[in-house]
């Protein structure tokens, strides 16, 4: 190895991580690790149990109800996250759990995603429409929507409808594989990572969300 080549290893440091000088300028994060460095970096932290109390979830949902512009039906959900996981967040390392509320007379507009969603109705009754076909539901029922099928929900009952949504969304996000289309329409198809998606809806920007003064505060009552 001549001097020029040696100089390429300028980033060589502790812990057996070798950082070759990038010869093309196109691969800034590529390193070579020895087995001990890799082992240490690969072993994730162990975590404590996750606990989310219904009183807290209910409180968040009722706060959202006070800000209907900020939290319309499709964004009126409480995501349960254990922040001890690294990588894409979820209730477990690969699984998302959210609790969503739709009020009597409301419709959650049609959308689709490449994660297969599982729904459980805690309370209320209503209908799902999958590719235009109706499936009625009431409290206690479970439903899964196949990947990339359009689906919407209608609360046609007299009381609020609360449901749990379960996805393998953190796995797909972690793998950089997540697609979302909301509202329905191919012009709204977003590759969540590559296309710099700003929000669940292709028609919204995260910046606009952040600027909204009506951000939910759990203790604001």
The piece of 79-87, 103-111, 152-160 that touches a copy of itself (CB under 8 A) is 79-87
Site mask, a copy of itself, residues 180-199, x = CB under 8 A?
---------x-xxxxxxx-x
For a copy of itself, which residue of 73, 102, 108, 128 counts as binding (CB under 8 A)? 128
Sign of CA dihedral 130, 134, 135, 139: positive
Q: In the complex with a copy of itself, which residue's Cβ is closer, 78 or 155?
A: 78
Distance, CA of 217 to CA of 212 (rounded, Å): 13
Site for a copy of itself in 55-74 (CB under 8 A): 55-60, 64, 71
Distance, CA of 181 to CA of 19 (rounded, Å): 39
Q: How many residues bind a copy of itself (CB under 8 A)?
A: 133
CB 74 within 8 A of CB 200: yes
| 154 DSSP β-pair partners | 107, 127
CB 88 within 8 A of CB 167: no
Is 136 among the residues that bind a copy of itself (CB under 8 A)?
yes
Is 141 among the residues that bind a copy of itself (CB under 8 A)?
yes
The piece of 27-35, 103-111, 153-161 that touches a copy of itself (CB under 8 A) is 27-35
Q: In the complex with a copy of itself, which residue's Cβ is closer, 55 or 158?
A: 55
The piece of 103-111, 127-135, 152-160 that touches a copy of itself (CB under 8 A) is 127-135
Give the CA distances from residue 36 to residues 32, 99, 122, 209, in Å, rounded to whole numbers and listed in that order: 12, 42, 48, 44
Sign of CA dihedral 117, 82, 55, 78: negative
Site mask, a copy of itself, residues 149-178, x = CB under 8 A?
x--------------x-x-xxxxxxxxxxx
Distance, CA of 99 to CA of 58 (rounded, Å): 9
């Amino acid at each position: 190895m001549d001097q020029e080549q040696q100089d390429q290893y300028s980033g060589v440091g502790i812990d057996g991580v070798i950082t070759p000088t990038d010869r093309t300028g196109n691969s800034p994060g590529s390193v070579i690790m020895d087995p001990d460095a890799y082992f240490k970096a690969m072993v994730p932290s162990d975590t404590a149990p996750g606990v989310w109390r219904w009183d807290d979830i209910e409180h968040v949902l009722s706060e959202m109800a006070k800000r209907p512009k900020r939290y319309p039906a499709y964004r009126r959900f409480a995501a349960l996250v254990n922040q001890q996981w690294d990588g894409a967040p979820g209730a477990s390392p690969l699984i998302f759990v959210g609790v969503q509320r739709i009020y009597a007379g409301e419709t959650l507009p049609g959308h689709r995603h490449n994660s297969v969603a599982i729904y459980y109705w805690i309370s209320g009754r209503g209908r799902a429409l999958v590719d235009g076909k109706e499936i009625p539901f009431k409290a206690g029922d479970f439903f899964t929507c196949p990947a990339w099928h359009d689906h919407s929900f209608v609360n046609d009952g007299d009381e609020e409808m609360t449901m749990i949504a379960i996805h393998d969304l953190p796995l797909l996000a972690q793998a950089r594989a997540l697609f979302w289309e909301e509202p329905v329409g191919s012009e709204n198809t977003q590759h969540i990572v590559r296309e710099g998606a700003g929000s669940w809806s292709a028609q919204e920007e995260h910046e606009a969300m952040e600027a909204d003064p009506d951000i939910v505060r759990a203790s604001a009552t």
